[in-house]
């Protein structure tokens, strides 16, 4: 029993005698309140135990459901991955086929273009060769005519002008084989260029029959 309660009872005096019956009534009423409080505590404990048991059961069910859901999700993901992989493989195969067909077409076009280019090059080479031959023939014809002309002059013994070679040189310098505009400008003008270049040549070089300015004379 509670020591404080025992001390309180022991400390009762004669003055408290008349109040003992009332105290008993108060104790009975308090006992009833405590009984009710104890009953409520027991109910609360049972309810808590029941709630805890239900929580454990619900937690087990939730865990079981989560496991099943995870398994289903994994199976679904695996099935989707297989399906996606199959689609990707099919697409890759189609793309590879298209790429092969395109490469074949490109190769065919390239071959056709190369054949056309080769044909054009051959035709151009043939034309260029023909032009070169015609030009060579004309040059030969001119050289032959110049040689005949020169031979006739030699045979006729016709006197040449004193400065005939320089006149030929002057005419030659105005042609395509003559100096460029830059060379003429650098020399200070055509006359100065002719004078300077002519002075560099020896008498034999100036009058040589195979010199370019004398061949076209």
The segment with the largest mean pLDDT, out of 16-25, 92-101, 185-194, is 185-194
Helix (H, G, I), strand (E, B) or coil at 50: helix
Kindly state the average pLDDT of the residues 36-42.
Answer: 92
Which pLDDT does position 157 carry in this prediction? 42
Does 74 have pLDDT greater than 80?
Answer: no
User: With b meaning 16 or more CB within 10 Å and e meaning fewer, what string describes 41-76?
Assistant: eeeeeeeeeeeeeeeeeeeeeeeeeeeeeeeeeeee
User: Using CA atoms, how far apart are residues 95 and 86, in angstroms rounded to an integer?
Assistant: 14
Kindly state the average pLDDT of the residues 190-214.
Answer: 93
User: Using CA atoms, how far apart are residues 41 and 53, in angstroms rounded to an integer?
Assistant: 18
User: Using CA atoms, how far apart are residues 215 and 169, in angstroms rounded to an integer?
Assistant: 10
User: With b meaning 16 or more CB within 10 Å and e meaning fewer, what string describes 158-167?
Assistant: eeeeeeebbe
Q: How confident is the model at residue 200 (pLDDT cuts 50, 70, 90)?
A: very high
Kindly state the average pLDDT of the residues 68-84.
Answer: 80
Does 29 have pLDDT greater than 70?
Answer: yes
Which pLDDT does position 156 carry in this prediction? 45
Q: Which residues, 6+ apart, have CB-to-CB distance to 173 below 8 Å?
A: 179, 190, 193, 194, 213
Q: Tell me which of 6-20, 108-122, 192-206 is least confident.
A: 108-122
The segment with the largest mean pLDDT, out of 126-135, 154-163, 170-179, 208-217, is 170-179
User: Using CA atoms, how far apart are residues 158 and 206, in angstroms rounded to an integer?
Assistant: 19
Q: Which residues, 6+ apart, have CB-to-CB distance to 172 below 8 Å?
A: 178, 212, 213, 216
Which pLDDT does position 205 carry in this prediction? 95
- Report which of residues 91 and 77 the model is more confident about: 91
User: Using CA atoms, how far apart are residues 197 and 215, in angstroms rounded to an integer?
Assistant: 18
The structural domains of the chain, with segments of one domain joined by +, span 160-217
Kindly state the average pLDDT of the residues 207-216.
Answer: 88
Q: Which residues, 6+ apart, have CB-to-CB distance to 161 below 8 Å?
A: 167
User: Using CA atoms, how far apart are residues 116 and 139, in angstroms rounded to an integer?
Assistant: 34
Q: Mean pLDDT score of the chain, rounded to an integer?
A: 82
Does 12 have pLDDT greater than 50?
Answer: yes
Which pLDDT does position 151 carry in this prediction? 47
The helices-and-strands tally (H runs, E runs) of the chain is 7, 0
């Amino acid at each position: 029993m509670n020591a404080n309660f025992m001390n309180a009872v022991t400390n009762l005096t004669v003055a408290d005698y008349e109040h003992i019956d009332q105290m008993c009534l108060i104790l009975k009423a308090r006992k009833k309140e405590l009984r009710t409080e104890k009953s409520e505590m027991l109910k609360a404990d049972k309810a808590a135990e029941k709630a805890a048991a239900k929580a454990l059961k619900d937690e087990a069910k939730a865990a079981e459901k989560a496991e099943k859901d995870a398994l289903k999700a994994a199976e679904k993901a695996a099935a989707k991955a297989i399906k996606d992989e199959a689609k990707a493989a099919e697409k890759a195969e189609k793309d590879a086929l298209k790429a092969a067909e395109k490469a074949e077409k490109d190769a065919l076009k390239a071959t056709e273009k190369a054949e056309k280019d080769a044909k054009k090059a051959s035709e151009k080479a043939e034309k260029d060769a023909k032009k070169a031959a015609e030009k060579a023939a004309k040059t030969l014809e001119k050289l032959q005519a110049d040689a005949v002309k020169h031979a006739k002059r030699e045979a006729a013994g016709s006197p040449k002008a004193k400065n005939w070679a320089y006149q030929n040189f002057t005419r030659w310098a105005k042609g395509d084989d003559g100096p460029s505009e830059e060379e003429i400008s650098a020399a200070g003008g055509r006359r100065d260029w002719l004078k300077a270049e002519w002075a560099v040549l020896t008498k034999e070089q100036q009058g040589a029959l195979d010199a370019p300015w004398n061949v076209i004379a």
